[in-house]
Amino acid sequence: MTEDLPVLPDIPCPFPSTFGAHPHPHPHAETAENDVLALLEGIDAPAGLRRRLADIGLGPLTGRLYPGTSRHGLRLAMLYYAQFCLHEDWITRQDPAALTRVYDRVLAAFDGEPVTPDDLPLTRLTARLARHLRAFRLPEHTGRFRTALSDYLGAHLWEADLQRHLRSPTLAEYRHLRPVVLGVRPLHELYPLIHERPVPAHLLGHPVVEALGAMMVNFHVLANDVHSLAKELRGERHPLNTVLVLRAERGLTLQQGIDATARAAAKELAAYQQLKAALPRLGLDHPALAAHLADVERLAADTVAWHLATPRYQAASRHQAAPDGGTGS
């Protein structure tokens, strides 16, 4: 049984978006994209990865997300997107029991162990990403990214087990899983490098700043789960998505689940603004931190426009949704 996917509600965002404000390509977008594509050829990346990166607009759309970055910073962002896409496609074909061994090897390569001819493309790409990261000579930020990457990979063990056993999590469980498995937190950890902001790493570890980051990650989860729903229902065997978890747990219609998810996204941004207003009172009004938070806010504002502009999601939204079958992310 199928039903048309309802019209997606607007998700209001109070932060300024620059995604549509730059009609001309980023001056380094083509060069940085070519750098990454050449690197992928050197690690024997699967042929489908190129198509996947084209579907997310690796060069032109990433350039619009980061209009003021250097070639070095833009290439770092693209390398992360390539790693994310490679992993997301690779994991769909894996036995969850083998993932721990692979992830241990990926993290060892990140830490500097030499890659071998037997290593997977994911391991080789991670080693290249780590090498690029270390070129910034900011080890505390490299360490924070490494922790976030480890958490991201570990959460996929959890998600893969749910998928393998066709088990739908409760909302309480899913709230812990989804923010880690989406991959936004590692990207946030790259932001001081991508944008070349000298924000002290110890400030990022302050509990208030950590809470602000978690709220923004939650916003991305909820906004993504609204906009990726059609893709997941169409393409996956056992979709895991906030909309579907809410619908199952609360007895909602698909439209009600979508609306509830959109409202939850707006509430995360409201909570973020309220907590951020307390930073000066808490002695946390560091200029570099303020600039970093502005970068993160701009990503939140740009994310909806990015989804609407990306062929990967536009192609899916033109199909009918099958809410009782499929799989998703």
Give the three-state DSSP class for 57: coil
Angle at 157 between CA 96 and CA 146, to 5 degrees: 130
CB 162, CB 219: distance < 8 Å: no
Compute the distance between CA of residue 193 and CA of residue 42 in angstroms, rounded to an integer.
24
Place of tokens 């990207």: 187
The list of the chain residues with pLDDT below 50 reads 1-2, 315-329
How high is the pLDDT of residue 232?
A: 84
pLDDT at 227: 85
Instruction: Say what the pLDDT of residue 68 is.
Output: 87
| Distance, CA of 309 to CA of 48 (rounded, Å) | 21
At residue 237, the 3 state secondary structure works out as coil
Q: What DSSP state is assigned to residue 23?
A: -
